[in-house]
Structure 1
């Protein structure tokens, strides 16, 4: 179904644009664009040792996307899923559907990858969509340029220069599913400094209901403020700086899985105080996230062949989550803790028994085989302790899953054009991370990381270009690693190159995987007497996990056909990741290992055609053949995925876009959607304008979005926006 429908839509859009091209004629030759994020050198796309996707301002506006994860659907091979309505998962090529651990994300070169939990919190960005100049995505391993965690790719979000966004803009967006966004910015100058102050607010209700029709509570609120500035210190020196703060709230239902959930079918439970109280106890466990950011970058262009850059940043992130949980007093039983310490799976078998998934005690006994049988008398005592508490009711206590992360980072980078044929960039990065959490770490964890990097670009002949790059990295928690990359380009023509790339990359286990000390430390414990104040489950990181290691080979082509305004990039790849950490990291089942393995083999293509002065056609496609050792790594990689977009400028200031997205498997579910946008600009005065836009999204499939419980009442979703500029 995906292949047939996709082909029809692609051909329809292509045919329409071809007709427009014949009517209006091709545009004139344009200068080649450049990218900044691949090797830290400014390069033409044909010179890059890998594949780049650039989402420019025109695409950002035409997509109608309200957030960055939705925008990244335009990147071939990028998998966008949702754990809930407020928790996006963005992975290049796939791996675990619940985690996004293997891609580096930067904002103007500053990493927002959270080392504590190895995640990207997309909602905590203080940068508004309206303030983004472009997004550069390096598709493939890039540890050689950006260090561990750039295992599968790098996303660099580049903000608009404040000097180019002077004046005032006010925007409001409203639509179905509770969408209510607001944005305001004011650009101004003070002496040799241009500044932009921006304020944003985003609201939506999340998914409507689960697979059974039950309402879901997973809405989101984000408010942020940012101040960005550019100071021209002298003709050669520039200072760019940013300040930002964001506050977001993610709704969540009751986030505690009880050992004994009050099953009325359990003998003696029906009508008991325990059954009545625990079945009605379900407070929300909303999360509030707060982020503060300050960064600065000083650049000194000594000459046309030498530039020095010094940057530094401070980030502080707080994840505040507290609620009250209730469970059987046996969760504080030393007998249950003794069982868990020997084998957490045995404690889960007891959970099945209390849930009524095992009919008799003999059924439970059979799950304690061999040398584990000696623990069964402890299980019988736990059952007796629970039975004795049925008339007394559950034990309740306060859970505090608050986590605070702080990062200090400083980097020095030197760029030199040594000869007409040879140039290089090299430098060093020093980063300090601190994570605080009583629940997840039992206190404080620290890590210091030193990076030394270099990239060499040599052009011995007009038709040949050679690259060599490497990153040496030493981490206090994970030790030393070195990631090299070698590439060779052959230029058929100046803007058409064939490339071969070999690279190695690593991902360091995060603090949570390697150093967790996760247990519930009860506060304000109430209910019947307990045998101790120590919760039975205690997840401990092994402390000796090795880095994940990747080897990647790539053959590719990049070309720009100036006469017809067409840019093409094709990538064939073979990637293998060894020593992967693929296990689910749950309190009651926390056993991370380096036993995972995944292999991606396939081909990707992206085609961007400025067919006429008014029409732009863009196509992406990815075919991926996947081999994965762990079942959880097999669920987010569709064999076929892609997008097709037609952007049109009509007379009278009217713009339209039609974009199709498709994937034949996202967590074993088909995804197909068509987005359309229609906008109109009204020139009010010489210096003011009003932009009005309607965005409509329509799902072509009837699947849950990533998970079966992620469902909307309607396949249609629309929102209307109006922006006043003066």
Structure 2
């Protein structure tokens, strides 16, 4: 059945591409793309860029220094300002759907599951996410709360996505990838800009205001509001009543001279949302799952201070301090208060024509408190503090100037719950010819167990008699407990890639990888016992106890590709494809594949995308996107093809009006569901919205 659906969807993808690609080709002559509206959109030169041009853009997330993407010995993709402006996306996770190897799925509470190269989950634990270099990875549950990320899209400078380990520079938990969301320098966003977007399901608005206090000091403040009905169930009924949030922030940039720069940032957000929640009824007299609608809320604030000093062309220094506070009430009764304080110092030193060093030290303190009484899970110790110290060194060794470079280095870390960790890497970059560059690397990265994995007790499911997975004539309850003495998960990764210029200005970026994981979190059966309810003399149920243990092993491998170019000067095309495969090593105790906490089957084996950007004169543009995503979890989430479109009209240089359609090929679709506890499957509906952007 799954194979039939896949073939149908692939055929639909090809048919859709054939229809959407030539939408306006006959009507317009070949001419250079028009100049962009001043202060409303990114420079028009971006529209003319091939992937070759885009690869000359600088990235800071691969090497912790400014480096051209084309010179990176890693799989890196940059979502530019132009990509953001022309996208149909209304959130950062939606923007990430265009990146090969990135997996994005909407869930039942309007949140997102986002990962890279496998192990997808609402709180994907092998992915490090940052905003301006400030980690937003929440250590208690080991992941990112994407729904709390409400930065106005117009304030984004770019998003850098590194696929593959980044632990040598960024440390533990940068296992499968790094996403660095970079906001605009305040001097690049002067004036007032507003953005409003509305559909029958979602309404949102943002306002940003930037200015200069003098020639060396600039500022920007922003505010954002959003209200969303969220996903639907299979019948088209709303799964939740509301998702409402507000966000406000400010940034100050000071450059007293050419050698020094200081940045100060602060942000506050809060919101309320309803979550459809399924829990296990522990009353053995009325067993079974119970579905309720829970009221949840969050609040968060953060501060960042950064100083950079350029002593010379060969020596840079940086110092950054951050503080994060997050509060979140969810899971039908639990309230999390989490705080993180971090201090990092870095140095880039070009010691000679051959050696360029990147050196850094840092420390973090994370404190959390979990209160309340949830029917889903509890933590054995409600208050906890974790401490980290770390250092790294990396050397870029030029073997042949402008042609061959070897990069070696390692991160050394120590914390109070797993001890000392080392995370080395070696990467080689070769410019074989002006039109071809090759790279390869091998890395070791670790993911430290979250507080949840070290101290949680979770009631997961109840299976009634007659269920294929229940061999007993009584209800079977499952309970998962943590193992306090946990070990970190370990990845050894091999990667290789090529970037080539093709005839006609087209470019191709290819990456292949092979990952070997050990000590993965797997759930093992440790015993079962009858459940009694006095005065009834006989058992009314069976309690099956399972435990999270560091015993899983798996291998994953895949290919990622990006092909980009211009069919006409005014018609830009980008095609992406990624393939993901895996094999888990059988558990030595059971002889069967391990029951991993985050199932590898929760990631699509194939994803493909086709984007078109067309400019029709100075005022009208059309952007379309078609995506194919293969099935998840053995067909529980079917394969789907999605079509999105954005038609934009600019009546003046300061005003932009758009009509946006999302999920146009079907009435609704499911994208993801959590594996280790019962939850209703969410469906993303077709949506049509209007948007207005203004700038003064």
- TM-score for the superposition, normalised by structure 1: 0.78
Deviation, 1:95, is 1.8
3-state SS, counterpart of residue 302 of structure 1: strand
Aligned partner of 2:649 in structure 1 is 680
Aligned partner of 2:550 in structure 1 is 594
Aligned partner of 1:694 in structure 2 is 659
Structure 2 residue 193 is the aligned partner of structure 1 residue 169: yes
Deviation, 1:516, is 3.5
Deviation, 1:184, is 0.5
- Any gaps of 5 or more consecutive residues in structure 2? 1-6, 34-47, 373-377, 460-476, 526-542, 585-592, 674-678
Deviation, 1:302, is 0.8
Aligned partner of 1:127 in structure 2 is 151
Show the 5 A alignment for 1:353-364.
none
Structure 2 residue 266 is the aligned partner of structure 1 residue 243: yes
CA spacing shift, 1:322–1:143, aligned 2, 3 Å: closer
Aligned partner of 2:467 in structure 1 is none
Q: Counterparts of 2:177 and 2:524 in 1: how far apart (Å)? A: 22
Show the 5 A alignment for 1:289-300.
289-300=298-309
3-state SS, counterpart of residue 624 of structure 1: strand
- Any gaps of 5 or more consecutive residues in structure 1? 267-277, 324-399, 520-535
Aligned partner of 2:337 in structure 1 is 404
Aligned partner of 1:328 in structure 2 is none
Which one has the bigger helix percentage? 1
Q: Counterparts of 2:254 and 2:546 in 1: how far apart (Å)? A: 50
Bigger mean CA deviation after superposition, 468-477 or 252-261: 252-261
Aligned partner of 2:39 in structure 1 is none
1:444 aligned residue (383, 399, 407): 383
Aligned partner of 2:375 in structure 1 is none
Check conservation: 1:76, 1:605, Cα contact below 8 A: yes
1:427 aligned residue (360, 369, 372): 360
Which string of whole-angstrom CA distances, capped at 9 and with x for unpartnered residues, describes residues 556-583 of structure 1? 102356x854442100111121111144
Deviation, 1:649, is 1.6
Aligned partner of 1:341 in structure 2 is none
Aligned partner of 1:553 in structure 2 is 494
Check conservation: 2:571, 2:615, Cα contact below 8 A: yes
Aligned partner of 1:608 in structure 2 is 564
CA spacing shift, 1:517–1:426, aligned 2, 3 Å: same
Check conservation: 1:485, 1:503, Cα contact below 8 A: yes
2:576 aligned residue (609, 616, 620): 620
Check conservation: 1:239, 1:298, Cα contact below 8 A: yes
Aligned partner of 1:6 in structure 2 is 13
3-state SS, counterpart of residue 30 of structure 2: helix
Check conservation: 1:617, 1:647, Cα contact below 8 A: yes
Check conservation: 1:85, 1:218, Cα contact below 8 A: no
Q: Counterparts of 2:573 and 2:259 in 1: how far apart (Å)? A: 40
Check conservation: 2:30, 2:570, Cα contact below 8 A: no
Bigger mean CA deviation after superposition, 659-668 or 66-75: 659-668
Q: Counterparts of 1:213 and 1:25 in 2: how far apart (Å)? A: 45
Bigger mean CA deviation after superposition, 588-597 or 288-297: 588-597
Show the 5 A alignment for 1:256-335.
256-260=279-283, 263=286, 284-321=293-330
CA spacing shift, 1:308–1:455, aligned 2, 3 Å: same
3-state SS, counterpart of residue 591 of structure 1: strand
Aligned partner of 2:530 in structure 1 is none
Aligned partner of 1:190 in structure 2 is 213
CA spacing shift, 1:490–1:20, aligned 2, 3 Å: farther
Aligned partner of 1:333 in structure 2 is none
Which string of whole-angstrom CA distances, capped at 9 and with x for unpartnered residues, describes residues 80-139 of structure 1? 113314221001122254541110001011100000111201122252222111100001
Aligned partner of 1:531 in structure 2 is none
Bigger mean CA deviation after superposition, 95-104 or 34-43: 95-104
Aligned partner of 2:611 in structure 1 is 645
CA spacing shift, 1:584–1:72, aligned 2, 3 Å: farther
3-state SS, counterpart of residue 446 of structure 1: strand
Q: Counterparts of 1:404 and 1:653 in 2: how far apart (Å)? A: 49
Q: Counterparts of 1:118 and 1:206 in 2: how far apart (Å)? A: 24
Q: Counterparts of 1:21 and 1:458 in 2: how far apart (Å)? A: 50
3-state SS, counterpart of residue 499 of structure 2: strand
Q: Counterparts of 1:80 and 1:69 in 2: how far apart (Å)? A: 7
Q: Counterparts of 2:336 and 2:262 in 1: how far apart (Å)? A: 33
Check conservation: 1:670, 1:703, Cα contact below 8 A: no
Check conservation: 2:454, 2:482, Cα contact below 8 A: yes
CA spacing shift, 1:227–1:610, aligned 2, 3 Å: farther
Q: Counterparts of 1:174 and 1:709 in 2: how far apart (Å)? A: 27
Q: Counterparts of 1:34 and 1:713 in 2: how far apart (Å)? A: 35
Structure 2 residue 406 is the aligned partner of structure 1 residue 466: yes
Check conservation: 1:126, 1:245, Cα contact below 8 A: no
Bigger mean CA deviation after superposition, 628-637 or 443-452: 628-637
CA spacing shift, 1:571–1:438, aligned 2, 3 Å: same
Check conservation: 1:77, 1:642, Cα contact below 8 A: no
Aligned partner of 2:423 in structure 1 is 483
Deviation, 1:20, is 10
1:103 aligned residue (123, 127, 133): 127
- TM-score for the superposition, normalised by structure 2: 0.82
3-state SS, counterpart of residue 602 of structure 2: coil
Aligned partner of 1:383 in structure 2 is none
Structure 2 residue 630 is the aligned partner of structure 1 residue 664: yes
Deviation, 1:596, is 2.1
2:80 aligned residue (53, 56, 61): 56
Check conservation: 2:113, 2:672, Cα contact below 8 A: no
Check conservation: 2:371, 2:382, Cα contact below 8 A: yes
Which string of whole-angstrom CA distances, capped at 9 and with x for unpartnered residues, describes residues 230-289 of structure 1? 1112221000111000102221135543113875xx9xxxxxxxxxxx99x986422211
3-state SS, counterpart of residue 402 of structure 1: strand
CA spacing shift, 1:246–1:640, aligned 2, 3 Å: same
1:39 aligned residue (63, 85, 90): 63
How large is the RMSD of aligned CA atoms in angstroms?
3.1
Structure 2 residue 180 is the aligned partner of structure 1 residue 156: yes
Check conservation: 1:17, 1:617, Cα contact below 8 A: no
Check conservation: 2:436, 2:499, Cα contact below 8 A: yes
Check conservation: 1:236, 1:301, Cα contact below 8 A: yes
Which string of whole-angstrom CA distances, capped at 9 and with x for unpartnered residues, describes residues 674-700 of structure 1? 1100111222xxxx7111111101353
